[in-house]
Amino acid sequence: NAGVTQTPKFRILKIGQSMTLQCTQDMNHNYMYWYRQDPGMGLKLIYYSVGAGITDKGEVPNGYNVSRSTTEDFPLRLELAAPSQTSVYFCASSFDRVIEAFFGQGTRLTVV
Amino acid sequence: GQQLNQSPQSMFIQEGEDVSMNCTSSSIFNTWLWYKQDPGEGPVLLIALYKAGELTSNGRLTAQFGITRKDSFLNISASIPSDVGIYFCAGSYNTNAGKSTFGDGTTLTVKP
């Protein structure tokens, strides 16, 4: 069982560069989420999706974009990387109306 | 937005001791979740609580959903070295597309 798979695991970006963090799940979950985790802090919700074709902003969406063209995939796009986006990014998924989320292993991003 | 205060921030205990940590919220939740995060990994769900007053156990772990719906606690009995990690509480509304608000975590260190 793969669960939630994130790629890459690590990435260093220069200020102003763009990149896409990939997330895919094989559990047929409708709900998917992107969180960021800063050192010593809990997780903050960036964007979420309740199904293919539907996305919505979370608590900290500025500087990010998402798309959900299929149930399985939920990529997160950074258009103009800034040092404030240095963080660990977690993708998660869950069943409808059941909110226990299954998390990926994270992507550690450094913007220099 | 909703705020979760999780305490203590860190704990250093001897193997075999019991551990208690808690979360309080500025607003009510319909669901409380407790996650554990190992270094370099994503959070993993330990216990989910769905009803005010509910007390649920998972092995040596016991968690309770506070009567006021604004707090929850997690107890670990007879700690062992593999209990080391960061424990997060999270609160959510079942109807809120599964979005959860996370506490900042309790870092547990267990000395053999």
DSSP labels, A16-78? T--EEEEEEESS--SEEEEEEE-TT--EEEEEEEEETTEEEE-S--TTEEE--SSSSB--EEE
Do A51 and A109 contact (CB within 8 A), yes or no?
no
Q: Do B92 and A33 touch (CB under 8 A)?
A: no
pLDDT classification of B9: cutoffs 50, 70, 90: very high
Question: In angstroms, rounded to a whole number, what is the distance separating the alpha carbons of residues A26 and A38?
Answer: 27
Within 8 A of B43 by CB-CB distance, chain A residues are 43, 90, 103
pLDDT score for A104: 94
Strands lying side by side in the sheet with B61-65: B4-7, B19-25, B71-76, B61-65, B55-58
pLDDT score for B18: 97
Is any Cβ of chain B less than 8 angstroms from the Cβ of A48?
yes
Q: Do B104 and A41 touch (CB under 8 A)?
A: yes
Token pair, residue B102, equals 């996370």
B19-25 and B100-102 strand pairing: unpaired
CA B88 from chain centre, in angstroms, equals: 5
**Percent of residues in chain B assigned helix, strand, coil, to nearest 5:** 5, 55, 45
Backbone φ and ψ of A83, nearest 5°: -55, -30
Question: In angstroms, rounded to a whole number, what is the distance separating the alpha carbons of residues A53 and A108?
Answer: 27
Residue with structure tokens 């240095």? A86
pLDDT at B102 > cutoff 80? yes
List per-residue pLDDT tens for chain A, 112 residues long.
Answer: 679 999 999 999 999 999 999 999 999 999 999 999 998 888 999 999 999 999 999 989 999 999 999 999 999 999 999 999 999 999 999 886 556 788 999 999 999 9
- The model's pLDDT over B56-100, given as tens digits with 9 standing for 90+, comes to 999 999 999 999 999 999 999 999 999 999 999 999 876 555 678
A88 Cβ contact list (under 8 Å, min separation 6): A36, A37, A38, A106, A107, A108, A109
Q: Identify which of B45, B102, B105 has the shortest CB distance to residue A100.
A: B45
pLDDT classification of B16: cutoffs 50, 70, 90: very high
Question: In angstroms, rounded to a whole number, what is the distance separating the alpha carbons of residues A18 and A64?
Answer: 10
In the DSSP assignment, the letter for residue B8 is -
pLDDT score for B99: 75
Is any Cβ of chain B less than 8 angstroms from the Cβ of A103?
yes
Q: How far is A21 from chain B (nearest CA, A)?
A: 15
Q: Do B1 and A59 touch (CB under 8 A)?
A: yes
Question: In angstroms, rounded to a whole number, what is the distance separating the alpha carbons of residues B88 and B39?
Answer: 13
Chain B residues 34-53 with CB within 8 Å of chain A: 40-45, 48
